[in-house]
Amino acid sequence: MIFDPASLPSHRQTIRPISATALHGIVFQDNKLIAIDAKNGYLYQIALDTGHTTVLNSHRWQEFVGTTGLAIDDQNNLWFTTRENLYCCTLEDFTPKFFTRLPYTANGVAVTGNTIYVTCQRSGQIFIFDRQSGQEITRLYAPGIGIENITIRGEELWLTDTLEQTVYCLDRATGEQLFSMITPFESPTGLAFYRDANSGKDILYVAYAFQEPCIRDNPNSEQVHELSYRPRTFVHPLYFHYDPAKKYTLSNGYLIELSYVEELEPLYNIELKNVEWRIALPLETPRQKIRSVEAVGLPFIEEIQDGQRVAVFKFEQITGKQRHIFGWKVVLEVWGIKYQITPQDCEDLPALPADFPDRYLIDNDDLAMNTEIILNAAQEATGRETNLLRKVYSIRNYVYDQLSYGIKPNIDTPDIALRRGVGSCGEYVGLLLALCRLNGIACRTVGRYKCPPHPLERNLPLEPDYNHVWMEFYLPSIGWVPMESNPDDIFEGGPYPNRFFMGLAWYHTEIAKDIPFERMLSEGQPVLKTQVPIGDLAINHVQFVILEELAPKD
């Protein structure tokens, strides 16, 4: 399914009902969107052509406070979930009629014909009821761990998951997951398909609701500016393209401008002659394409190193008194990607390519793979598991069980990080690499920066707080697959989301795989970190500008 966002009227890009604080269930009726606000109980009706918004249940809003699921059947009856209960009412008087009660909180609801589907996070299941008898027919497994909402299209069930930042497409009869995709915003809370009259295509809209940090001006406080949180909720189209042959789904992409610039400002007197300052450029990958590259400050020569583009800046000499600004600016297309690979796909895999063991199974980055604590951890993490994909998944969960996220000025080796129990993204990656490689899983570090995840803030300079690394592991006959280092480690002891296990959001930028991101040569010889750290010579400046939204294309 491929759409051109630019061809849609502006009001169909992002829908923001005035006064809404927490939109959840959404449905379309004719050319109007009906959405429920769980906090205040308002049932909004929004005209897509004008954006005009009205409250339908102005006299019965109390009964809808806490409602999260919403559906309309073929007789224009409204179904909604509140706490453990499922109700039905007409769109005229909104008097709730009790239908059934679940053992735990009911989240989302969808209706087709005589069949009703209700999601329940606490049970991890989708309850299916007969509309006529009210009896439970069966249950299906719910794929994620967060609160899920649901809608139906033909023979497909579609679910959002707040914690997974994911939309799932399931077979309606069996519950088998057909594919999934990462949403461009956090905390998706509802979804519905809209049939566009002009194109005849279905457009998937997703609701979002979350708390956004902000600086509040408080004149009554001694410190006038204070940190606060405000609700953010809206509905935005989710564009996607599923490629079953390549086993991945691309979702909402963005055209971004990424600048990496070094400000030469040595901390001490130094003299380096015939210097090559090499900075890797972003990569071309299934989810990332380069539109243009230009130099900033000083010109560079572009070279190819191991198949990757590198900007080479040349200086006759660098001294402590020199000042320069130099770097590159790249315009990138970036998308969300989610691989659809199962353990069954990883049975009876062929052997690794002949050169892989010497490149991706060795300790070539201070991984402490010969220490007793790491050797024991490698065995404990996988146990008797033989399936390669399940091994990687077990190792990820083991690392998440052992580490908690924390920032440090330097990166320790995996044995130290494991003993300490706290690690940065680089230390998570180091431990993941060590345990994977000791289990015969080829893997490598990837990074380098993440765009601040604010895709509605267009044409403004955005600066990341930190650099970031994650990893890729290799599946023979399938290829390299991404896995985030630490962002999914959000609960002590789990369960952990799988959103970035074999997936990346649009805001990840891939720079340098198998080659250094940045290094210097002086008179043809590498300048080692122990001799002159680059950080002692220059200050790096990283800036993103989000230019426009994209849709995946073949």
**250-292 per-position pLDDT tens digit:** 999 999 999 999 999 999 999 999 999 999 999 999 999 999 9
**In the chain, what is the greatest distance between 2 CA atoms, to the nearest angstrom?**
85
Token reading at 53: 């918004």
- Mean of the pLDDT values across residues 67-71? 97
Q: How far is CA 494 from CA 121, 283, 338, 467, in A?
A: 15, 33, 21, 26
**Closest Cα to residue 318, out of 309, 326, 310, 329?**
326
- Mean of the pLDDT values across residues 534-543? 95
pLDDT tens for 81-121 read: 999 999 999 998 899 999 999 999 999 999 999 999 999 99
CB neighbour class for 8 (10 Å; exposed up to 12, middle 13-18, buried from 19): middle
> Bigger pLDDT: 219 or 296?
296
pLDDT tens for 124-138 read: 999 999 999 999 999
248 and 181 Cβ atoms separated by less than 8 Å = no
pLDDT of residue 551: 74
Q: Is the pLDDT of residue 552 over 70?
A: no
pLDDT of residue 221: 83
pLDDT of residue 466: 87
For the stretch 401-406, contacts whose Cβ atoms lie closer than 8 Å and that sit 24 or more positions apart, written own/partner, are 401/493, 401/494, 402/377, 402/431, 403/427, 403/428, 403/431, 403/486, 403/489, 404/489, 404/492, 405/486, 405/489
Q: Is the pLDDT of residue 319 over 60?
A: yes
pLDDT of residue 224: 87
CA 141 to chain centre: 23
Q: Is the pLDDT of residue 530 over 80?
A: no
Q: Is the pLDDT of residue 439 over 50?
A: yes
pLDDT of residue 553: 65
Neighbouring CB atoms inside 10 A of 308's CB total 17
Tell which phi-psi region holds residue 479, choosing left (phi > 0), alpha (psi between -120 and 50) or beta: left
Neighbouring CB atoms inside 10 A of 126's CB total 24
pTM given for the model:
0.93
Q: Is the pLDDT of residue 7 over 70?
A: no
Looking at every residue in the chain, the average pLDDT score rounds to 93
